[in-house]
């Protein structure tokens, strides 16, 4: 690999979204008297959430629809009666202030920044994701913020990657090609599939969650610990 730029996902790659969900549900259920929180309930949220994100990735629904129905679906399954849209507002305001780093994230970012152009590649709202990266003191390692809201379409769409490369190569005389870039992320359906289709190198950060069940892992590389990415890049170069 002759790499020039790294694309890296945010949620469950750099910042711990799963841990955040547990905290938000625990606090929110108590604060609004919704009912008792049990750990399995976070899994229920992830099932609903992953399913809705797949529909976004397939272009069947948009992010606004997800926000309307996500928590109503979760509460329906859990048998709790609470207004899902109002819980969604709480959930998102709580998320905006959440920045729980994944183990090894700073070490990896610092290494990547010393050698490559670093691009965040995240499906999510620009203000929220940029704010969380700043809260985590990670912005100093980042050269480009490619959020789906800013780009106008989501991973894994081809148009998403097209637009990222258009921005990456703006005012650059030595054009960076997809095969000079590596995409790192935890999702086979959005991060890996999209980047592979676009001709980039891919590295799956496998966290052992339910997220990738039913998908074939055809990533070039797979790591279980984030810091293994450093070893991988040192060996491959």
Stretch that binds Mg ion, among 27-35, 68-76, 111-119, 183-191 (CB under 5 A): 183-191
* CB nearer to Mg ion: pick between 11 and 180: 11
Binding flag, residue 186, Mg ion (CB under 5 A)? yes
Consecutive H or E run containing 222: strand 221-223
* CB nearer to Mg ion: pick between 12 and 71: 12
Binding flag, residue 9, Mg ion (CB under 5 A)? yes
Binding flag, residue 154, Mg ion (CB under 5 A)? no
Binds Mg ion (CB under 5 A): choice among 11, 57, 88, 180: 11
Binding flag, residue 128, Mg ion (CB under 5 A)? no
* Buried b / exposed e along 10-33 (16+ C-beta atoms within 10 A): bbbbbbbbbebbeebbbebbeeee
Binding flag, residue 88, Mg ion (CB under 5 A)? no
Neighbours of 214 (CB within 10 A): 8
CA 148 from centroid of its chain's CA atoms = 10
Q: What are phi and psi of 127, to 5 degrees?
A: -60, -45
Binding flag, residue 189, Mg ion (CB under 5 A)? no
Binds Mg ion (CB under 5 A): choice among 12, 147, 148, 189: 12
- Rounded least distance, CB 182 to Mg ion, Å: 16
The residue count for binding Mg ion (CB under 5 A) is: 4
* CB nearer to Mg ion: pick between 9 and 16: 9
SS3 state of residue 89 = helix
Q: Which residues pair with 122 in a beta bridge?
A: 147
Binding flag, residue 57, Mg ion (CB under 5 A)? no
Stretch that binds Mg ion, among 10-18, 81-89, 108-116, 173-181 (CB under 5 A): 10-18
* CA nearest neighbour of 187 among 202, 204, 201: 204
Binding flag, residue 16, Mg ion (CB under 5 A)? no
Compute the distance between CA of residue 186 and CA of residue 12 in angstroms, rounded to an integer: 7
End-to-end Cα spacing for the chain: 6
State the residues that interact with Mg ion by CB under 5 A.
9, 11-12, 186
């Amino acid at each position: 690999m002759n790499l020039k730029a790294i694309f890296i996902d945010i949620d469950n790659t750099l910042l711990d979204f799963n841990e955040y969900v547990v905290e938000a549900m625990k606090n929110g259920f108590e604060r609004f008297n919704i009912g008792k929180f049990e750990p399995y309930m976070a899994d229920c949220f992830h099932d609903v959430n992953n399913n809705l994100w797949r529909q976004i990735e397939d272009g069947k629904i948009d992010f606004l629809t997800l926000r309307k129905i996500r928590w109503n679906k979760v509460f329906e399954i859990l048998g709790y009666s609470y207004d899902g849209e109002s819980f969604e507002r709480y959930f998102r305001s709580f998320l905006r202030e959440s920045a729980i780093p994944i183990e090894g994230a700073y070490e990896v970012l610092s290494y990547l920044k010393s050698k490559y152009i670093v691009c965040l590649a995240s499906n999510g709202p620009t203000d929220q994701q940029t704010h969380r990266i700043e809260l985590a003191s990670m912005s100093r390692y980042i050269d480009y913020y490619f959020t789906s809201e800013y780009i106008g379409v989501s991973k894994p769409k081809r148009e998403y990657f097209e637009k990222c490369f258009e921005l990456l190569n703006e005012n650059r005389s030595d054009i960076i090609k997809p095969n000079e870039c590596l995409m790192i992320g935890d999702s086979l359906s959005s991060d890996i599939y999209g980047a592979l289709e676009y001709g980039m190198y891919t590295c799956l950060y496998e966290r052992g969650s339910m997220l990738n069940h039913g998908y074939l892992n055809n990533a070039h590389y797979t790591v279980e610990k984030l810091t293994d990415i450093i070893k991988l890049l040192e060996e491959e170069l």
